[in-house]
Amino acid sequence: METLAASEKAIDSILLRVSQSHCSVILLLDGSTSASTVFQVTSTVRATWGVGILEVAARGQDANMTQAQLSRVVSDARRLRQLSWCVTVVVVSDDPVFLAAFAQWSLKGRLLVWSTRLLALTRLSLSELRDLHKTFSMMNAMYLILDDKTGSIKFTVYLQLPYTPPGSEALQVASWSPQRGLALTSHLPLFPDKFSKLLNRPTLVVASEEFPRHKAVMKADVNAPGGQTLRFEGHMAVLLEYLAESLNFTYIFRRPPDGTWGTEQIDGSWSGMTGMVSSEEADVGLGPFSVSATRAEVVDFTWPIFIQDVKIMGGRGQPEVDPWSFLLPLARSVWAAILLTLVAVPSVASLLLLCLTHGTKSHIRWFRNTFEFIGILLQQGIMVDGERWWWERLVLGVWMMVTLVLTRSYSGNLMSLLAVRHIPQPYQSLRDVLDDPSVTMIWQGNSTNVQYFHIV
């Protein structure tokens, strides 16, 4: 029996225990599962927000082709994860090479964050899954191992504890069988918060840098090279000490080579403390860091410890009188429409007169009609003789109604503008500030503000 078909009820039991009402499931296959099995399992899996099915045809292809497909599939899965409130990724494969490649690309492609659960369904033994230790120890991930060698189906659920050495024994947390169903075998729940208390008291590398209320000092330490160790003093150092005591870890500090918090470089790499954490030179970055979308692409943030607003303030201009203020009551498009009408309507009227009367003085009539339209706009009187056609009288009447509305609107807006003196405000957006050559801006290098300005 195919691995996925044999695991249908076990997967449903696990998802029923851990899924929430707004969670979705991403099913990732290696091409060894038939379409009928996929449709049968997805019809029974309890995922209220749907199931996404992604497949990498790994069989019969070389390693480079499989890697390229995995890159695209992980990218698609990551977009699905970003569109969902919460996601459980179920990867199904009995190929250790495929699982190792998936583990590598899931970290590199940022598919797995702590809020995303990963369940690896396989017939492989734990000894054959050694290459997955890093991913499964640091992420919210579990193994679901199928054992049907004795003729009966049995599943065992394992997880790797964080900061354990490669090759360390996995912890069994649950089992499933058709007779007993799902049963927990330890005090831990499914997909536990493994970082709430670190059992082996690891030593973490903490990236940190000085700022006004966070000073670097060298303290005596007989166990450190040179007899001194780098420490920091300030409220963030106190917070780190509380976390170390609560979560059961020790730590050492390292400063970033460029002394910055970190921004994305032209080649896609990251500088500063953010770069140290994303490249795994450090386990933790001690900020405080500004949370941004670009940084969230490469690192995970803790819950915010405080919220701070950054504002750019610019002085208002002095009250002044604009010599062109008489043009302000009407928009530029309105002025353009008026000028176009003053040219177009007399021209059309003269052309019609030329066609109807076969007269030779159409240019004289055009000048007269143009001056009449301008006179009406300027609220001057005109003489209407009996030689005019009925449609000429209609056009003049409509133009009088239009000019009445325009003049009333113009006079009201002009009165308001003259009553309030004009104060120029040249900066209406951040783009206006950046484009102004007279503005000099000083920001901390390789900070999130600089990164944001580059994006804008």
Q: What is the pLDDT of residues 24-62, one digit of tens each?
A: 899 999 888 888 888 888 887 777 788 889 988 766 566
Instruction: Tell me whether the omega of the peptide bond preceding residue 288 falls within 30 degrees of 0, making it cis.
Output: yes
For 98-154, the pLDDT digits (tens) are 898 888 888 888 888 888 899 999 999 998 998 899 889 999 999 999 988 877 889
The per-residue pLDDT for 275 is: 92
Q: What is the mean pLDDT of residues 170-180?
A: 91
Distance CA 90, CA 142 (A): 10
Res 386 pLDDT > 70: no
Q: Which contacts (CB < 8 Å, 24+ apart) does range 184-191 have?
A: 188/159, 190/14, 190/17, 190/18, 190/142, 190/157, 191/18, 191/117, 191/140, 191/142
**CA gap 377, 38 in Å, rounded:** 76
CB atoms within 10 A of CB 18: 16
**Average pLDDT estimate for 424-444:** 82
- Indicate whether this model's pTM tops 0.75: no
Q: Which of 253, 250, 246 is nearest to 232 (CA)?
A: 253
- The mean per-residue pLDDT over the stretch 399-428 comes to 79
* pLDDT of amino acid 356: 65
Q: Name the pLDDT band for 175 (thresholds 50, 70, 90).
A: very high
Highest mean pLDDT pick, 167-181, 318-332, 390-404: 167-181
CB atoms within 10 A of CB 224: 13
To the nearest whole number, what is the mean pLDDT of the chain? 84
pLDDT-based confidence at 387, cuts 50/70/90? Answer: low
User: Which position has the higher pLDDT, 311 or 133?
Assistant: 133
DSSP assignment of 337-377 equals HHHHHHHHHHHHHHHHHHHHH--S-HHHHHHHHHHHHHHHH
Choose from 233-242, 381-390, 419-428 the range with maximum mean pLDDT: 233-242
Residue 305: the pLDDT is 85
Residue 271 has pLDDT above 70, yes or no: yes
Q: What is the pLDDT of residue 86?
A: 85
pLDDT in tens, 210-246: 988 889 998 888 777 778 899 999 999 999 999 999 9
CA distance 124 to 94: 6
Residue 360 has pLDDT above 60, yes or no: no
Q: Copy the structure tokens of residue 42.
A: 């997805």
Alpha helices in 109-145 (DSSP H): 133-138
Q: How far is CA 408 from the centre of its chain?
A: 50
Query: For position 320, what pLDDT does the model report?
Result: 67
pLDDT recorded at residue 173? 94
Q: What is the pLDDT of residue 395?
A: 78
Predicted local distance difference test score (pLDDT) of residue 159 = 93
Give the pLDDT score at 406: 85
Share of the chain above pLDDT 90, in %: 23
Q: What is the rounded distance in angstroms from the CA atom of residue 103 to the CA atom of residue 65? A: 17
85 phi and psi, to 5 degrees?
-70, -50
Q: Quick check: 448 pLDDT over 60? A: yes
pLDDT above 70: percentage of residues in the chain: 91
Q: Give the residue carrying structure tokens 């033994």.
A: 125
Decide if pLDDT at 85 tops 80: yes
Does residue 19 register a pLDDT over 60? yes
User: How confident is the model over 302-313, as a mean pLDDT?
Assistant: 83
Strands, DSSP E only, in 93-170? 117-122, 141-147, 154-159
Radius of gyration of the chain (CA): 37
CA angle 302, 306, 309 (to 5 degrees): 120
